[in-house]
A and B are shown apart, each in its own frame.
Chain A
Amino acid sequence: MIFEIVRWVGYFILGYFIVMQLYMAFLAAYSALILRRNHHLARFDRGDDMLASHQSPPVSIVIPAYNEAEGIVDSVRSMSIVAYPKIEIVITNDGSKDNTLQLLIDAFDLERVRIPYRPDIETEPIRGIYRTNHPIQITVIDKENGGRADALNAGINVARYPYALCTDADVILDPRCLVYAMKRITEDRERTIGVGGNVRPLNGSRVELGHLIDPDVPKQLIPRMQILEYLRTFVASRPAWSELGALPLVSGAFGIWKRSAVIGIGGFTAGHLGEDMDLTIRMHRHHIDREIPYRIVYEPRAVIWTEVPSDRKVLRGQRIRWHRGLMQAISDHAGITFNPRYGKLGLVTWAGMFLFEFLAPIIEFVGWIIIPYAAFVGALNIQVMVAMLVLSYGVGLVNSGVSLLLDESFGFHNSWRDTRRLVFASLIENFGYRQLTVIWRIRAIVGGRSTQGWGTMTRKGVTKLGADAA
Chain B
Amino acid sequence: MSETKRILVADDADAVTTVITTALEINGFDVTATDNGNHALELATTEHFDLAIIDQLMSGMLGIDVLKRLRLEGNQLPVIILSGVDGADIVVDSFQSGASDFIRKPFRLPELLARMEKHLSTAAAKTST
Contacts and interface: CB of A to CB of B under 8 A. Distances in A.
A432 to B, nearest CB: 36
Contact of B85 (A48, A81, A174, A208): A48
Interface in A122-136: 135
B62 A81 contact: yes
A367 interface: no
Interface in B26-43: 36-39
Nearest to A86: B89
B59 A175 contact: yes
B41 to A, nearest CB: 9
B86 A213 contact: no
A357 B60 CA distance: 36
Interface string B53-83: 0000111111011000000000000000000
A175 B85 contact: no
Nearest to B64: A81
Interface string A63-86: 000000000000000000101010
B60 A212 contact: yes
Contacts of A48: 57, 84-85
Contacts of A174: 59
Contacts, number: 35
Nearest to B86: A52
A213 B38 contact: yes
Contact of A51 (B39, B64, B85): B85
Nearest to B59: A175
B93 interface: yes
A208 B38 contact: yes
Nearest to A208: B38
B36 A213 contact: yes
B57 A83 contact: yes
A238 interface: no
Contacts of A51: 57, 84-85, 87
Interface in A213-239: 213
B93 A175 contact: no
Nearest to B69: A209
A211 interface: yes
Contacts of A81: 62, 64-65
A213 B34 CA distance: 13
A51 B59 CA distance: 15
A260 B85 CA distance: 30
A211 B13 CA distance: 19
Given A81-B62, A81-B64, A81-B65, A175 B36 contact: no
Interface in B76-121: 84-87, 93
Contacts of B36: 213
A68 to B, nearest CB: 22
A85 B58 CA distance: 16
Contacts of A175: 57-59, 62
A211 B61 CA distance: 6
A151 B60 CA distance: 30
A176 B56 CA distance: 12
The residue among A48, A174, A175, A176 with the most chain B CB atoms within 10 A of its own CB is A175
* 10 A-B pairs closest in CB distance: A51-B85, A213-B38, A211-B61, A81-B62, A52-B85, A48-B84, A83-B57, A213-B60, A211-B60, A81-B65
Interface of B: 13, 36-39, 57-62, 64-65, 84-87, 93
Given A48-B57, A48-B85, A211-B61, 15 more contacts: A46-B13, A48-B84, A51-B84, A51-B85, A52-B86, A52-B87, A83-B57, A85-B87, A174-B59, A175-B57, A175-B58, A176-B57, A211-B37, A213-B39, A213-B60
20 contacts: A48-B57, A48-B84, A52-B84, A52-B85, A52-B86, A52-B87, A81-B62, A81-B65, A83-B57, A135-B93, A174-B59, A175-B57, A175-B58, A175-B59, A211-B38, A211-B60, A211-B61, A213-B38, A213-B39, A213-B60
